[in-house]
Amino acid sequence: MNATEAAKPDLRRHLALALDVDDTVAAGRLARELRPWFGVAKVGLELFSAAGPAAVAMLVEDGYQVFLDLKMADIPNTVGRAARVLGSLGVSYLTFHAFAGPAVLRAGVEGLREGAERAGLGSPAALAVTILTSDADAPAHILAKRVATAVEAGCAGVVCAASDVSEAKLIAPRLLAVVPGLRPLGSPSHDQARSATPAAALAAGADLLVIGRAVTAAEDRRAAAEAIFSSLVPHFSSEDGARTSPAR
């Protein structure tokens, strides 16, 4: 068994496949094709708007942990009640916007936990989105403020650019760092103003890497996934493998 094959079971838990499509048939096809390299599937606004909870159920049934990326931000009561519903679906991760403040995030954390408990599931991870990777103009002090908000609210982790991981970990070492906007060398950055390579993000201390168009839009998706996976093996220690896996 080579090093890549040996690392596969653990490293897959650190890789989230972004299923940014508008129907469950396309999402299911991508998820099944790329299952050998990804243990987490990201459902964003597009897919959830098209298919709703059915998309989550399909992916859980296929053996994925589901990262539901809705970036929730509303009054605490609304966020808490919605998070309670989503927690009962079996999601492993759910995002909230940190700019909404600690009261909103805390309501989301509590609602998410309550929903999972009522359904007999383990505790999902509430993630606070700090600064979007498409935002190149955010003031320098914003990251620290939003990470502190996540800590105050009891979030399990933050979503941030690869370049922000070190600072986030200095402020809150125990928080998971989830990094989107990743592109292999030579790939177009698209709408990501602060992109990085997957290897650079993992080396910086990221716990979960979110990878989408670099694989899903590739001419040979399986080859693209294998190339990214192989590039990460030298930066990965299986001793850290349990950090990104919420109880289920």
Phi-psi region of 9 (alpha: psi -120 to 50; beta: other; left: phi over 0): alpha
Query: Do the beta carbons of residue 69 and residue 77 sit within 8 Å?
Result: no
Structure tokens at 81: 């009640």
Catalytic residue numbers read 71
Amino acid at 80: G
What's domain 3-238's superfamily in CATH? Aldolase class I (3.20.20.70)
Structure tokens at 214: 């670099």
Amino acid 189: pLDDT: 53
Amino acid 243: pLDDT: 41
Quote the pTM value.
0.90
Pairwise CA distance, residues 224 & 106, whole Å: 39
Pairwise CA distance, residues 88 & 8, whole Å: 29
Q: 40 pairs with which residues across the strands?
A: 16, 65
Pairwise CA distance, residues 140 & 149, whole Å: 16
Alpha helices in 88-235, H assignment, sequence order: 102-118, 142-153, 165-171, 198-204, 213-216, 221-232
- What averages of pLDDT result for each successive group of 10 residues across the chain (248 residues)? 61 96 96 97 98 97 97 98 98 97 98 98 97 73 95 98 94 96 69 75 94 94 96 73 43
Amino acid 9: pLDDT: 61
Structure tokens at 57: 């159920």
